[in-house]
Amino acid sequence: AKLHMIEKKKLYYNSIEGKSKYNSKKILDNLNAEIAKGRFLVYVQPKITVAESGLYGAEALIRYNSPDYGVIPPVKFIPTLEKEGLIRHIDFFVLEEVCKLIAKWIAEKRTLVPVSVNFSRTTLLESRIADSIEEIVDRYGIPHEYILIEITESAGYIEKDTFISIGKILTARGFSLSLDDFCSEYSCVSLLGALKFREVKFDRSMISQLGGGEKTADTVCETMVGLCSKLGYPVVAEGVETEEQLEILKKFKCDAVQGFFFDRPMPADEFEKKYIYSQS
Ligand code: C2E
Ligand code: MG
Ligand code: MG
Ligand code: MG
């Protein structure tokens, strides 16, 4: 418990340090310039149904295309942006790109699936966050149910009551919530009963332990899938890399999987060609 308190404090300090205006302003100017140059890319990874291996949904994931180093994953730049209080610019950029994609699919009469956008806890804590999200989604005429807002479970651990009230506002406006990284380091199982989720995403750290001879990992996973299904929440397993993991998840009656076993995150146009069919 003591360790948790220290970690909790650390997370809090991380989010408020680096508020030195000069530094943040410089990074923000760079950030906006890079966005304008098209150097931030939205990649998309499919979520696949376990029963039929069909398309269940998709998740949008940011990438930075560096002229010097090529395509850079978010782990390399998101912590800095969070520290500087600038991650909102990425979150809203991704939301808008996702809206453009879905608007295109609607215009072309393609089969739609809901698409997830990841929101940092600091973005979600902004005042009028629901208005900001709704303004963008409505500008593109997207029915709200096609936008899934992924909230990492650890966010609920820190400011639980605030998260519950924000989650309730978002669902009241017809947006769907996806509980991300479920059962990773900061767990908050009570969130399950406090909000209505469209899906619960099991963290890769849990999935990677499946079938390794460690019977307890399998038992925890199976029990958690059971808990979610009792609550009426579909389960999406993250980071499925092997057929063995898929078979175990099938046995546990997990609904969908997202992982390299089926496909990696890919540029949005590639995803569209491969997965989003025209209705005919
Ligand atoms: P996440 O939301 O949990 O996203 C899932 C991550 O798991 C992605 O990493 C994805 O590429 C990776 N993944 C999927 N299947 C597999 C697999 O089979 N094996 C392995 N090893 N990895 C797999 P990615 O794209 O590097 O993103 C990392 C994290 O960065 C995300 O975790 C999310 O927390 C954050 N992130 C990404 N895009 C955004 C964004 O637009 N805004 C914010 N705030 N955070 C973002
Ligand atoms: Mg996510
Ligand atoms: Mg995450
Ligand atoms: Mg996750």
Pocket test for ligand 1, best of 118, 151, 240 (most atoms within 8 A of CB): 118
According to the model, what pLDDT value does residue 185 have?
78
According to the model, what pLDDT value does residue 4 have?
53
According to the model, what pLDDT value does residue 280 have?
64
| Cα–Cα dist 24/133, whole Å | 23
Pocket test for ligand 1, best of 47, 56, 78 (most atoms within 8 A of CB): 78
| Cα–Cα dist 119/117, whole Å | 6
Pocket of ligand 1 (CB under 6 A): 45, 61-62, 73-75, 78, 87, 90-91, 94, 118-120, 150, 180-181, 204, 238-241, 258-260, 265
The residue whose C-alpha atom lies closest to atom 20 belonging to ligand 1 is 239
Q: ipTM more than 0.85? A: yes
- CB proximity list for 83: less than 8 A, separation 6 or greater: 14, 15, 17, 18
- CB proximity list for 190: less than 8 A, separation 6 or greater: 160
> Residue 116: which of 59, 172, 182, 37 has the closest Cα?
59
Which atom, in ligand 1's list, is nearest to the CA of 265?
11
| Cα–Cα dist 181/150, whole Å | 9
According to the model, what pLDDT value does residue 22 have?
53
Q: Name beta bridge partners: 107.
A: none
Q: What is the mean pLDDT of each run of 10 residues along the chain (280 residues)?
A: 49 41 76 94 98 97 94 93 92 98 97 96 93 98 98 82 94 97 87 95 96 87 97 98 97 98 98 90
Provide the Cα torsion 262, 264, 266, 270; round to 10°.
Answer: -20
> Residue 166: which of 116, 117, 123 has the closest Cα?
123
Which atom, in ligand 1's list, is nearest to the CA of 261?
18
Which atom, in ligand 1's list, is nearest to the CA of 117?
41
According to the model, what pLDDT value does residue 239 have?
98
Q: Name beta bridge partners: 62.
A: 42
In contact, 84 and 24? CB cutoff 8 Å: yes
Ligand minimally distant from the alpha carbon of residue 201:
4
162 Cα–ligand 1 center, Å: 24
101 Cα–ligand 4 center, Å: 22
Ligand minimally distant from the alpha carbon of residue 63:
1
> Residue 102: which of 138, 68, 131, 132 has the closest Cα?
138
The residue whose C-alpha atom lies closest to atom 17 belonging to ligand 1 is 239
Ligand minimally distant from the alpha carbon of residue 258:
1
259 Cα–ligand 4 center, Å: 11
DSSP 90-116: HHHHHHHHHHHHHHHHHHTTBPP--EE
**What SS3 state is found at 62?**
strand
| Cα–Cα dist 129/167, whole Å | 10
| Cα–Cα dist 258/67, whole Å | 29
Angle between helix 87-107 and 129-139 (nearest 10): 30
280 Cα–ligand 2 center, Å: 32
Q: Which residue has the tokens 């149910």?
A: 145
In the chain, beta strands by DSSP E: 40-49, 55-66, 70-72, 115-118, 147-152, 176-182, 199-202, 235-238, 256-258, 266-267
| Cα–Cα dist 35/31, whole Å | 6
Question: Counting every residue, how long is the chain?
Answer: 280
In contact, 238 and 207? CB cutoff 8 Å: yes
Residue 226 tokens, joined: 């059971």
Residue 249 tokens, joined: 């998840």
Which atom, in ligand 1's list, is nearest to the CA of 181?
3
